[in-house]
Chain A
Amino acid sequence: MGCGLEADGKSSIGTTIDDDAVITLKAGEPRSTERFVRLHVGWMLAVATRIVRDPHHAEDAVQNAFANIFDKIDEFGGRSALKTWMHRIVVNESLMLLRKIKRTDTVSIDDLQPEFDANGCRFEDHWAAPNTPEALLLQSDMRAQVMGQIDLLPDTYRIILVLRDIEELTTREVAEALEISEANVKVRLHRARAALKRLLEPLVKGQGL
């Protein structure tokens, strides 16, 4: 039968895609396993790359994640979708690798925070006619430019922005993955977003980077 992966979430014999994938992995049949790996390797590599940034480290993270998935498939209880479970594993493997990478090519987060006068009033330039995100997204190299700016953030802030706003983990999930408090996640997330706002200002204002 193979993986039996159908678009409607049901296979030909009525079991779910996740059930079939789990059966496949447990059986360890080589061709079905290969189909499973090919089906998931692309998005897993994209997730790992967003977290660790370096393509070689990302491949290592994906390889470790698959090893973990194969080892722990018996523990998958179906409480979440299989892809959600796999996403958590590749995120955790990427975070483990990220902890070993030392970076120096980042900006100072403090220099990118909003400024206030002695009365607590904000200094903010008026944006006459900013570009809309929709219009900006039509530019061919926009994704690379935006991701390049996100990459400038120090990892302790960047990773929270990536996990919360791009990978769409909840505050609690981010706190658990990084072993920090939810309050700490929120503080760092806001500082990361504020810094990113400053970094992306030239783009949104149509001035280019």
Chain B
Amino acid sequence: MSKAGQEPIRRRRRLHGMMFRLPLMITCEAFEDFILAYLEGDLNARQTFVFELHLKLCRECRDYLDAYRKALELAKACGSDEAAVLQKVPEDLVAAVLAARDC
């Protein structure tokens, strides 16, 4: 990106840096520490308000949380895919289990 193109981004970051010091505001770094608790429903009402206020004002954190959720959803769907369970019973393993049982 050109120097001129980066200027609005720098300006927004400076503005965010100042804004996030105001009462009831947190930085993106502090926001990061609350993500897991927020998704698990472990934040109290005030913490949830502060978290969601930051989310409303910060596009970077909105994009980040959206991608975080999508990656998690994908991992859950792929990892627990029932199709992954073997359709064909592994005969060697069944035989080994039963042989050990008979010992």
Is A120 part of the contact surface with B, judged by Cβ < 8 Å?
yes
CB atoms of A197 and B27 under 8 A apart: no
**A43 near B85: Cβ-Cβ < 8 Å:** yes
| Cβ of B84 under 8 Å from chain A | yes
Q: Residue A9 at the B interface, CB < 8 A?
A: no
From residue 164 to 208 of chain A, which have CB atoms closer than 8 A to chain B? 165-166, 168, 186, 189-190, 193-194, 196-197, 199-201, 203-204
Residues of A122-164 whose CB lies within 8 A of B: 122-127, 130, 132-133, 136-137, 142-143, 146-147, 150, 161-162
Mark the stretch among A12-20, A29-37, A80-88, A94-102 that contacts chain B.
A29-37
**For chains A and B in complex, what number of residue pairs have CB atoms within 8 angstroms?**
163
Q: Contact at B64–A33, with CB atoms within 8 Å?
A: no
Main SS at interface, chain B: helix
State whether the Cβ of A105 lies closer than 8 Å to any Cβ in chain B: no
Task: Judge whether A124 and B64 touch: CB under 8 Å.
Answer: yes
Does B45 count as interface, using CB distance less than 8 angstroms? no
Q: Tell which of B16, B29, B74, B85 touches A146, judged by Cβ atoms closer than 8 Å.
A: B74
Q: Is B46 an interface residue (CB 8 A)?
A: no
Residues of chain B at interface, number, CB under 8 A: 51
Q: A63-B97, A189-B36 are in contact. Are A120 and B74 (CB under 8 A)?
A: no
The 4 closest A-B pairs by CB, nearest first: A119-B17, A120-B27, A166-B79, A122-B28
A residues apposed to B, CB below 8 Å: 28, 30, 33-34, 37-38, 41-43, 45-46, 50, 59, 62-63, 66-67, 70, 114, 116-127, 130, 132-133, 136-137, 142-143, 146-147, 150, 161-162, 165-166, 168, 186, 189-190, 193-194, 196-197, 199-201, 203-204
17 interchain pairs (CB within 8 A)?
Answer: A33-B98, A41-B93, A45-B86, A45-B90, A46-B84, A116-B32, A119-B14, A132-B70, A133-B73, A133-B74, A143-B81, A147-B78, A161-B75, A162-B79, A165-B79, A166-B79, A196-B75
